[in-house]
Amino acid sequence: MQGKKNIATGFLFLAGFMIYGFIMIYLRDFAPGKEQWIAEYGIGKHFESRLAHVHGGLFAFINIVVGYLLLRLPVGEFSAKGISWLTLVGMLMPLGILAEIVLGVPPVLVLLGGISMVIAMIWFGLAAMRLKLPKGNSD
């Protein structure tokens, strides 16, 4: 039964990136040296921090929606498994952005996650187009 792990992981990932958002608010509004943080807000590591936060929330939400739909739509076991795993791997993108900022890791995880998420969305779109609708639905 594909989808459950996407929903659970998506909610946990969302919570983690919400906490990360609160950390950024603290750094901007309350931390010692906040003036420097504000001055550098739109460049370099600060900009990338916001990219990680936004993509973390977005990719978490995508996993929740994909998981729910995989539980509800008859896309087939092979497609469901592939879409599920690719969508989960997609969450490497925001983690990769953070790894670049904090650890200086090359952007391999960003590329792997982004490509995985795009492939998953294309695959799911094609699978959805192939769905057989009950009689009476003309879509």
pLDDT tens for each residue of 38-86 = 887 777 788 899 999 999 999 999 999 999 999 999 999 999 999 999 9
Query: Which of 64, 139, 66, 59 is closest to 96 using CA atoms?
Result: 59
pLDDT confidence tier of residue 100, bands split at 50, 70 and 90: very high
| Averaged pLDDT, 131-137 | 75
Could you give the percent of the chain with pLDDT greater than 90? Answer: 76
Question: Residue 128 pLDDT > 90, yes or no?
Answer: yes
State the number of CA atoms in the 13 A half-sphere of 76 facing the CB. 12
N residues, the chain: 139
d(CA 14, CA 70): 19
Q: Is 135 left (phi over 0), alpha (psi -120 to 50) or beta?
A: beta
pLDDT at 28: 85
pLDDT at 138: 59
Query: Which of 86, 83, 81, 85 is closest to 116 using CA atoms?
Result: 86
Per-chain mean pLDDT for the chain: 93
Query: Which of 106, 100, 103 is closest to 51 using CA atoms?
Result: 100
d(CA 3, CA 14): 16
| Averaged pLDDT, 84-110 | 97
pLDDT at 139: 60
Query: Which of 91, 136, 80, 97 is closest to 116 using CA atoms?
Result: 91
Give the Å distances, CA to CA, from 90 to 13, 28, 128. 12, 29, 20
